[in-house]
Amino acid sequence: MNENKEVKIFPNAQDLAEAFAFELFQMTRSSKQRLDIALSGGSTPKLLFEVLANQYANKIPWERIHFWWGDERCVSPTHKDSNFGMTQEFLLSKINIDADNIHRVKGELPPEEAAADYILQIQSNLNEREDWPVFDLIILGMGDDGHTASIFPHEMELLTSDKICEVATHPESGQKRVSLTGNVINNANRIYFLISGKSKAKPLSAIMNNLKSANKLPSYHIEPKQGQIIFFLDNPAASEIS
């Protein structure tokens, strides 16, 4: 893994979410420019969105933030599985942000069309570096199986795809997803992993300790080419890192 990797460990998921929210707040204070941030789905980001809505609604200059998603489930935006829907409920509906600053994956479209539409949105909004779009920050979670965004262990080819987005398939439910690919994620200026819970301890220790078994875990291959990577962990998730 990257030598610029930083690891921050907190007692529990709530403390982690609070520290993460503060980090975002600091980021918006230290730069006067537009920030393009890709969000993640999952339970840990939900806590983060609650903290942002409760503590930072009037402190963060939302007009400079553009929200994207690292992955989306192919369902309508009001479906309970929608990552956009979850963000809408816990954050977007509680802050003053312009609709033009929200760039969602249209999960209600057929998956290939949703991916093509999202690629166009990205290409027409983001700057490029070495022919790949540049996000200022990509927030990622990690599943118990080591997946990140919607790059699952049975679809490792998404890490090196020459497309900006791909349609992915959840290994158990068969649910279709649209995911940023590894080349785009690794081209971001900053990648912040948000990982909490005991069920993440094994894959995380394989990744952090560079075990051979980590090779099969998509998260192990997330390594920014030029940017910074920070792991925000809670104690249970970090409990097996030596």
Contact yes or no for 11/234 (Cβ under 8 A): yes
Please give the single-letter amino acid code of residue 217.
L
Contact yes or no for 70/149 (Cβ under 8 A): yes
Q: Does 203 bind ligand 6PG (CB under 6 A)?
A: no
Nearest-angstrom CA–CA distance, 116 and 204: 33
Q: Residue of minimal CB distance from ligand 6PG?
A: 141
Contacts of residue 198, defined as CB under 8 A and 6 or more positions apart, other chains included, come to 236, 237, 239
Q: How far is the CB of 199 from ligand 6PG (least distance, A)?
A: 8
The binder of ligand 6PG chosen from 44, 82, 183, 187 (CB under 6 A):
44
Q: How many helices (H) and strands (E) does the chain have?
A: 7, 11
Between 83 and 181, CB nearer to ligand 6PG: 83
Between 43 and 93, CB nearer to ligand 6PG: 43
Between 150 and 187, CB nearer to ligand 6PG: 150
Q: Does 83 bind ligand 6PG (CB under 6 A)?
A: yes
Enter the tokens of residue 83.
């990552």
**DSSP code of residue 3:** T
Q: Does 141 bind ligand 6PG (CB under 6 A)?
A: yes
**DSSP code of residue 33:** S
Between 42 and 224, CB nearer to ligand 6PG: 42
Beta bridge partners, 228, equal: 190
Q: Does 148 bind ligand 6PG (CB under 6 A)?
A: yes
The interface mask with ligand 6PG, positions 154-173, x = CB under 6 A, is --------------------
The binder of ligand 6PG chosen from 119, 122, 142, 180 (CB under 6 A):
142
